[in-house]
Structure 1
Amino acid sequence: MGETAMVDRSRRGTRQGYHHGDPSSDTTVVTTSASEPIVRVSAFRKTYGRTVAVDGIDLEINRGEIFGLIGPDGAGKSSLMKAVAGVLTYDSGRLDVFGTRVDSEQSAETIKDRIGLMPQGLGLNLYADLSVEENVDFFGQIRLVPNDVLQQRKKRLLEMTRLEKFRDRAMKNLSGGMKQKLGLVCCLIHHPQMVVLDEPTTGVDPVSRRDFWSILAQLLREEQITALVSTAYMDEATRFHHAALLFEGKVLARGEPDEIAALVPGRIVQAKAEPQAEAFARLKESFPQSEAVGPWLRVFVDDADDEQATTAVSSRIEKFKPQEMHVAQPDLEDVFIALLRRRGLTDEEPKQDVVEVAKTFGVPTGDSKRLAGIATEKPLAIEAHDLVRTFGDFKAVDRVNFRVQQGEIFGLLGANGAGKTTVIKMLTGLLPPTAGTGRVAAADMHRAGQAIKERIGYMSQAFSLYQDLTVVENIHLYAGIYGLSRRMARERTDWIIEMAGLAGREYELSGSLPMGVRQRLAIGCALVHRPQVLFLDEPTSGVDPIGRRRLWDIIFDLSRNADVAILVTTHYMSEAEHCDHIAMMYAGRVFADASPSELKADLRKESGQLLEVTTDNPLAALDVMESCGFAGVSLFGKRIHLLAPDPIEAEQRVRNALTDDGIHVLSVSEQPLTMEDVFVNRVLALEKADEAKQ
């Protein structure tokens, strides 16, 4: 892979830069003091036949910390974690856990009683037909936990995870977030010293994700537990004390999140410009790491300070009269992509000309306003009026209303079980509504089922392709289903191959493609008949950051350049920023319907500004701030976040409370609200209201 940029810790209290291995390498290691590591990995290598899964990894995990492995599918995270847990052999290198050299089945057995392992996948360490309580009891018994200890610990963990009132519910009937919390309880029931959690929050809604991290922070604080956690969500890096970025089995960078972010000098510039699509295309020519996020253009400018970055972006799009320009530090996802890009580790970006995208969907290229996605009068593409769907006594969808304009990116957000997929199935004619009406592409959903299907594209939450067919065979299959002529099928196949960046992979089996590439192919197949409306149900779930950005580039192009209306569901709250409009669902109901900026403004008005507090003892500070009644307090790595109606007054209260407890406050700063803040705060308020009614 070439050189590896690293930021490391040692037990000496110095910061020292040195080269690792080849003196010509640009590998940088920054060292600071740390306690005796609980895990040491050196030159670790694991292969499966001819496939190298992990290649020469070195890292250390300190006692009492949350250490994160961050990377896309296939980066080597799971193989390394299973070896640390003592359930997977490896080919070469050295692995020490709790001071024991793990190099045989016998040595692995000596550490397993001190470790709790939670494998990747929703509920894969659980038994579907057993209840919540039966699962916990089973794990306690096989771990030989004495019954009195088991009952006491079970009660505490179920209360902590808010699963106490679901003791009798079968695991298979739990939501994804509840399954993951139950999985955590089961791997904690024997009071391990370290937990190994493989992508515990993938596919989990934002409320459950935040619950999960709060539970880990509490365990870290109260039981000094150590956690090794993997994730594909780059925004979760702020939760880790130390992290390693993995790619293709190697360490791309490691250290504290802030130290990793500092490895790539540059700035993020955000600006508004019209026509947005044309300005975006112009920026892409000079800045490959650019994206359209809602009304904003977001650009990474390499090796620049604030003034240089602003000048570089504004000069490139000067004729579009850029407005509201802001400059910020890049986040970890920006850094990850920049490291890959600088080392030539990313595939060539799929390229589409703005006019060609428009022409292939029949948009008149002379209509500059429509081409820019700013038509003066946009017809409605989707209408939902009082939609209801019940399953027996259970009301999955409860009087849902919303409208989507042609050419709009509309986000339908909600926790697992909120009713999002049921709404989509009713609108697409796959499921009859119990009550209510709807129109899609000017067709009534009750009376024009076939007409609707001919005018829409639908990409389901589950993988919607045939994995034993090649790329071209999948496209031809969908072309046949929609009745395209041979000539049109050939034209559409060529367009999809180019749009999805599949040149050279036409005859590969779709099941062998990386997840991000597969999803681009799935979108292409949903677009084969040039629909007016596109439904995308969790299109980026499990996709790496580069793949997610490319998918959103495609979605943006279809909206702005081809005037396709797009309804998308997602669990990534950062992706909600890409939507022009959002409807949030809870328990089958829509409780918010506005643009992302309006929703954040409403939260700021209701609950205040987001403050970030940095101290010399974050775990103790978290206890103090919770006991003082601060709203929305949560731990993000070594920092604490809270909401404050009066930031100045709140900062003084924070400083006074922590100083009185002997905790040194390093900084208190205001941070921008995110869509995750909006979603979590609104859903928690609804949950409290429902509990008050019971």
Structure 2
Amino acid sequence: MSEIAIAAEGFVKRYTRHEAVRGLDLQVRRGELYGLIGPDGAGKSSFMKAVAGVLAYEAGRLTVFGHSIDSERSAEAIKGRLGLMPQGLGQNLYGDLSIEENIDFFARLRLVPRDEAAERKERLLRMTRLDAFRDRPMKKLSGGMKQKLGLVCTLIHAPELIVLDEPTTGVDPVSRRDFWSILAELIAEQGLTALVSTAYMDEASRFSRMSLMHEGRVLAEGTPDDILGRAPGTIVECEASPQVEAMKRLGARFEQVEAMGTTLRLFVPESDEASARSEVKAALEGCEINSLETHEPELEDVFVALLGKETGEASADTPRPQALDAESASSEPVHSTSEGVDSQQRLAEDGSVATERDQPAYAIEAQGLTKRFGDFVAVGDVSFRVRPGEIFGLLGANGAGKTTAIKMLTGILPPSGGEGRVAGADMRRAGSLIKTRIGYMSQAFSLYLDLTVVENIRLYAGLYGLSRSERDQRLAWIIDMAGLHGHETDLAATLPMGLRQRLALGCALVHRPRVLFLDEPTSGVDPLGRRAFWEILFRLSRVDGVAMLVTTHYMSEAEHCDHLALMFAGKVVADASPAEMKRQVTEEAGALYEVAADQAASLVRPLREAGFASVSPYGRKLHVLTREPEKLAEVLKKAGAAARVTPRAMAMEDVFVHKVSQLEAENRKESA
């Protein structure tokens, strides 16, 4: 029996004149968790549908379990041996059927004998912790529960190969981590082969092997360690002041520079830690360096570096924004992240900083906000404040109440209780006034796709009542800010995702709002596009003093925020800076350690049985949160594992999962 489950040679998929996949070569081995990593439009879904036998292709060769998939008949020959979970929450499920009814339906559809189906169903329900909700209709499940049910229905006929197309998109970090743990356990116990796609670069390290894809091509293929070795270098994190000037200097010398709250993070290629520190210090000569640390690069850093090598420069659809190269960026920022913009400062009509003594100290204030829908409390007694010039992140699982809180603050929903002020206006009595003072960028709807770039900008300018001269001035500013030169007459629908999102941002800023609401603004955007987008947000906050409230499912993006509020079950359960939240979790649960071992997934169970509650598989590695590293090493030794244990910097995903898991456990105890 061949060890190769999937083999592709020169695979090509076209849609009319658009080539979605261009000459793809890859092999997936049996028993492997193989990842296709890339943004929307990379070609992942097209290839996966062809593997599942539901999409024809134009050129090349594709075999699954040794069968050439070149006709409907050949595709039918292997369909009983695989399961497909399409992209989108619950897309393969039936909303009016309960959890159990959905599973039973798929078991009958796949002709699974009744006894086998019943036994398998109970085991999968226990594994996914859906057994307590078996009578709940699918349409009333959270995003994470829908995806776990979709996985159960995909597995009910015991396939040898499962094809999962972006199974964690739109799912909160706790459910995402739960999903990956279940998948790793199934692969370790049953020898299952899985082909999984994701747009989340922070999930890349969970795969045995992977292909990094961009615009239908493979940039790199191999294990996570193989790919990390393709772009050697060092990550430097530093705090320097003035921050905007430091950002400008580093950006002139290094390709990858990001602002993460008060910290600047950059990739220094082809340098060891000592050399990298020296290069950064030289670039920042004249600035005050308050701290400087070095780390190993992450896979996203390598992806961006490889893409830069591939194109010879930044991708054409993600040009470096001009904001931080402008002369104005060399001045002192109007924002200090510890105190916010001075309460007497505001933007004048020409974009400069002016003084206004009655400018409010806070751009957004929520005090005891509450919203009830009948007996259901969607938001309960929520309070937080956002200063002018501050980037404030609102995090939480699906259904936590984030969107409801934003709708109350923007005057879309009336509150059941509490108070709120936005840009100095009372949300209860000044709904129309609030709308003139804020910008709102929604994930679901921000642009008219059948209008051109210029037509979209002019439409929004008209909606906000700008005069012709104001409109023309702001149009020129948006084109420059968003890097849209040469695209003015392009339809919004034809723009690459990165450019489209920056156009949407420009339309939200056309009337110079004091406050900006951003609802998952970079969903589906490639890493280069996300970084360019956040560089613009940094400039708007630090130089222009715009306050921002951001929601995101990318936990790496939470690092960009100056302050965070974590919502759970309609309440704010944590309110601090990212660094402070990490410190709190370290005090409560210990430090984060990485366990590297050949059969890492098989070590999850013995570690949990030994009392290590926070264990997550990441491909050939595990992440363990513990106060007892010595006990961890001892348990691994007893399990006969040749493992290497090393400390690892805590990420916001670790913080989110710890906090929410702790609250969920407390709720279960109270309801027991």
1:295-444 equivalences in 2 (<5 Å) = 295-344=262-311, 346-347=315-316, 349-354=319-324, 368=332, 370=334, 377-378=342-343, 379-444=361-426
**Conserved 8 A contact 1:617-1:664:** no
Residue 538 (structure 1) shift: 0.9
- The answer for the alignment partner of 1:658 in structure 2 is 636
Give the whole-Å Cα distance in 2 for the aligned partners of 1:168 and 1:505: 52
**Conserved 8 A contact 2:9-2:61:** yes
- The answer for the alignment partner of 1:673 in structure 2 is 650
Question: Which moved further from structure 2: 492-501 or 91-100?
Answer: 91-100
**Conserved 8 A contact 1:510-1:518:** yes
**Given the superposition, is the C-alpha separation of residues 375 and 236 from structure 1 closer, same or farther in structure 2, using an over 3 Å criterion?**
closer
Residue 358 (structure 1) shift: 6.8
- The answer for the alignment partner of 2:348 in structure 1 is none
Give the whole-Å Cα distance in 1 for the aligned partners of 2:534 and 2:290: 23
Would you say 1:569 and 2:551 are equivalent positions? Answer: yes
- The answer for the alignment partner of 1:535 in structure 2 is 517
**Conserved 8 A contact 1:369-1:375:** no
- The DSSP-based 3-state class of the residue aligned with 1:273 is strand
Would you say 1:132 and 2:109 are equivalent positions? Answer: no
| Paired residue type of 2:141 | L
Match of 1:465 among 430, 441, 447: 447
Give the whole-Å Cα distance in 1 for the aligned partners of 2:150 and 2:253: 47
Would you say 1:507 and 2:452 are equivalent positions? Answer: no
- The DSSP-based 3-state class of the residue aligned with 2:167 is coil
Cα deviation code 1:523-580 (max 9, x no counterpart): 1111000000000011111221111111111111110010000000001111111100
Give the whole-Å Cα distance in 2 for the aligned partners of 1:642 and 1:406: 38
Residue 376 (structure 1) shift: 6.8
- The answer for the alignment partner of 1:486 in structure 2 is 468
- The answer for the alignment partner of 2:610 in structure 1 is 628
**Conserved 8 A contact 1:277-1:372:** no
Residue 357 (structure 1) shift: 9.6
Identity of aligned residues (%): 58
Give the whole-Å Cα distance in 2 for the aligned partners of 1:246 and 1:467: 26
Give the whole-Å Cα distance in 2 for the aligned partners of 1:35 and 1:331: 34
Cα deviation code 1:238-280 (max 9, x no counterpart): 1000000111211110000111011012221111111111210
**Given the superposition, is the C-alpha separation of residues 164 and 629 from structure 1 closer, same or farther in structure 2, using an over 3 Å criterion?**
same
Give the whole-Å Cα distance in 1 for the aligned partners of 2:137 and 2:499: 36
Residue 447 (structure 1) shift: 1.1
Give the whole-Å Cα distance in 2 for the aligned partners of 1:77 and 1:475: 32
Would you say 1:684 and 2:648 are equivalent positions? Answer: no
Give the whole-Å Cα distance in 2 for the aligned partners of 1:157 and 1:517: 42
Would you say 1:277 and 2:244 are equivalent positions? Answer: yes
| Paired residue type of 1:690 | N
Question: Which moved further from structure 2: 52-61 or 526-535?
Answer: 52-61
**Conserved 8 A contact 2:323-2:481:** no
- The DSSP-based 3-state class of the residue aligned with 2:558 is helix
Residue 663 (structure 1) shift: 2.4
Give the whole-Å Cα distance in 1 for the aligned partners of 2:580 and 2:188: 37
- The DSSP-based 3-state class of the residue aligned with 2:660 is helix
- The DSSP-based 3-state class of the residue aligned with 2:543 is helix
Match of 2:144 among 172, 177, 190: 177
- The answer for the alignment partner of 2:64 in structure 1 is 97
Give the whole-Å Cα distance in 1 for the aligned partners of 2:478 and 2:143: 33
**Conserved 8 A contact 1:264-1:338:** yes
TM-score, normalised via structure 2 length = 0.94
Give the whole-Å Cα distance in 1 for the aligned partners of 2:623 and 2:235: 23
Cα deviation code 1:313-334 (max 9, x no counterpart): 1111111122311122211111
**Conserved 8 A contact 2:341-2:545:** no
Match of 1:600 among 558, 582, 585: 582
**Conserved 8 A contact 1:380-1:404:** yes
Give the whole-Å Cα distance in 2 for the aligned partners of 1:557 and 1:655: 46
| Paired residue type of 2:315 | T
Give the whole-Å Cα distance in 2 for the aligned partners of 1:136 and 1:406: 51
Residue 434 (structure 1) shift: 0.7
Question: Which moved further from structure 2: 371-380 or 309-318?
Answer: 371-380
**Given the superposition, is the C-alpha separation of residues 253 and 355 from structure 1 closer, same or farther in structure 2, using an over 3 Å criterion?**
closer
* Consecutive unaligned residues in structure 1, runs of 5 or more: 1-33, 360-364
Residue 351 (structure 1) shift: 3.1
**Conserved 8 A contact 1:583-1:594:** yes
- The answer for the alignment partner of 1:8 in structure 2 is none
Give the whole-Å Cα distance in 2 for the aligned partners of 1:146 and 1:255: 39
Match of 1:292 among 240, 252, 259: 259
- The answer for the alignment partner of 2:191 in structure 1 is 224
- The DSSP-based 3-state class of the residue aligned with 1:518 is helix
- The DSSP-based 3-state class of the residue aligned with 1:452 is helix
Residue 215 (structure 1) shift: 0.7
**Given the superposition, is the C-alpha separation of residues 148 and 64 from structure 1 closer, same or farther in structure 2, using an over 3 Å criterion?**
same
- The DSSP-based 3-state class of the residue aligned with 2:616 is strand
1:128-277 equivalences in 2 (<5 Å) = 128-277=95-244
Residue 353 (structure 1) shift: 4.1
**Conserved 8 A contact 1:350-1:498:** no
Residue 131 (structure 1) shift: 2.1
Residue 223 (structure 1) shift: 1.4
Cα deviation code 1:55-75 (max 9, x no counterpart): 111111111110000111111
Cα deviation code 1:305-353 (max 9, x no counterpart): 2222111111111111223111222111111111111222612624334
- The answer for the alignment partner of 1:36 in structure 2 is 3
Give the whole-Å Cα distance in 2 for the aligned partners of 1:352 and 1:262: 32
Would you say 1:120 and 2:87 are equivalent positions? Answer: yes
Give the whole-Å Cα distance in 2 for the aligned partners of 1:254 and 1:108: 26
Give the whole-Å Cα distance in 1 for the aligned partners of 2:626 and 2:208: 25
Give the whole-Å Cα distance in 2 for the aligned partners of 1:82 and 1:639: 29
- The answer for the alignment partner of 1:31 in structure 2 is none
- The CA RMSD measured in Å over matched residues stands at 1.8
Match of 1:523 among 486, 505, 511: 505
Residue 654 (structure 1) shift: 3.1
| Paired residue type of 1:660 | K
1:42-121 equivalences in 2 (<5 Å) = 42-121=9-88
Give the whole-Å Cα distance in 1 for the aligned partners of 2:218 and 2:497: 21
- The DSSP-based 3-state class of the residue aligned with 1:601 is helix
Residue 356 (structure 1) shift: 6.3
* Consecutive unaligned residues in structure 2, runs of 5 or more: 344-360
Give the whole-Å Cα distance in 2 for the aligned partners of 1:57 and 1:353: 38
| Paired residue type of 1:427 | L
Give the whole-Å Cα distance in 2 for the aligned partners of 1:165 and 1:182: 13
- The answer for the alignment partner of 1:495 in structure 2 is 477
**Given the superposition, is the C-alpha separation of residues 383 and 372 from structure 1 closer, same or farther in structure 2, using an over 3 Å criterion?**
closer
**Given the superposition, is the C-alpha separation of residues 350 and 672 from structure 1 closer, same or farther in structure 2, using an over 3 Å criterion?**
closer
Give the whole-Å Cα distance in 2 for the aligned partners of 1:93 and 1:668: 43
TM-score, normalised via structure 1 length = 0.91
